[in-house]
Amino acid sequence: MILKAMDKRVSGLGMLFVVGGPGKSGVSTISKMLEKYYNLRRISGGELMRKYAKEINMSIEEFIKYIYDNNLEEKYDRKVDMALVRYSNQKDMLIESKIFAALCFKYSIQTTVKIWLEASVEVRAERTLLKEGKVVDRNSDDYRKALESLKNRYNMDRERYKKIYGIDYSKPKLYNDIVIDSSKLNEVTTFNLILDLIKDGGYLKPTE
């Protein structure tokens, strides 16, 4: 885990949390817990992207591949990211996004704290199966398919973000204040660790 002091958010806008990480690393679960704990409004870049995918009857995996194969990053990725930038100027927000922490540097957006959750691809594949109600067996076809899907998604994301913004998606410590590997942690332990790190890092002002 990494902690580093960052500029504080303008007081009139309240708090701005940014939470990111690769698929099945626990980002959505932890974001919802932080949203409730700190009384924030959560906006998810992934959910915005899923809306676009639904409009053309694609799964999110199919949609990301469609964007990647047809060079449509400018149309969709930037549209989502600019929407998140606008949301970041509202009071007491939590932005859930794989890339927004890096965009905060690019656009000089002040935040309360930027958090990155990661986990090994093997653990993330197991979590995929558990979420789908399937048996976790590393020798099964289901596990191999989940593993391959996560690896392919990660590689496509990395190439897209490099192409669009020149951002190194594989180095989250460059852009985030707190980086946690949740591979061996459950959601409650991860959440409590984050609360401790936020407190110890001095990210919240006394009035917050």
Q: Give per-residue pLDDT as tens, 119-130.
A: 999 999 999 999
pTM (predicted TM-score): 0.88
> DSSP labels for 53-99?
HHHTT--HHHHHHHHHHTT-HHHHHHHHHHHHHHHHTSSSEEEE-SS
pLDDT band at 77 (very low <50, low <70, confident <90, very high): confident
Per domain, the residue ranges of the chain are 11-200
In the predicted model, is pLDDT for residue 2 greater than 70?
no
Confidence of residue 3 (pLDDT cuts 50, 70, 90): very low
77: tokens are 């990725």
The CA distance from 143 to 147, in Å, is 6
Summarize the confidence of residues 199-206 as an average pLDDT.
81
Question: What is the average pLDDT across 143-170?
Answer: 91
Architecture of domain 11-200: 3-Layer(aba) Sandwich (3.40)
Q: What is the pLDDT of residue 85?
A: 92
Task: Count how many residues are written for the chain.
Answer: 208
The tokens describing 9, both together, are 């958010």
Report the pLDDT value the prediction gives residue 207, as an integer from 0 to 100: 45
Place of tokens 């149309």: 75
Give the C-alpha distances (Å, rounded to integers) separating 48 from 44, 55, 80, 124, 178: 6, 11, 7, 22, 25
In three-state secondary structure terms, 52 is helix
**Could you tell me if 158 and 129 are in contact, meaning their C-beta atoms sit under 8 angstroms apart?**
no
Please provide the average confidence, as pLDDT, over all residues in the chain.
89
What does the pLDDT read at residue 29? 96
Nearest to 13 by CA among 40, 42, 46: 40
Alpha-carbon distance of 129 to 101, in angstroms, equals 28
Structure-token match 């890096």, residue found: 102
Q: Regarding beta strands 16-20 and 178-181, do their DSSP bridges make them parallel or antiparallel, or are they unpaired?
A: unpaired
- Region 23-32: mean pLDDT is 94
Confidence of residue 7 (pLDDT cuts 50, 70, 90): low
Contact between 15 and 112 under an 8 Å Cβ cutoff? The reply is yes
Give mean pLDDT, residues 173-189: 95
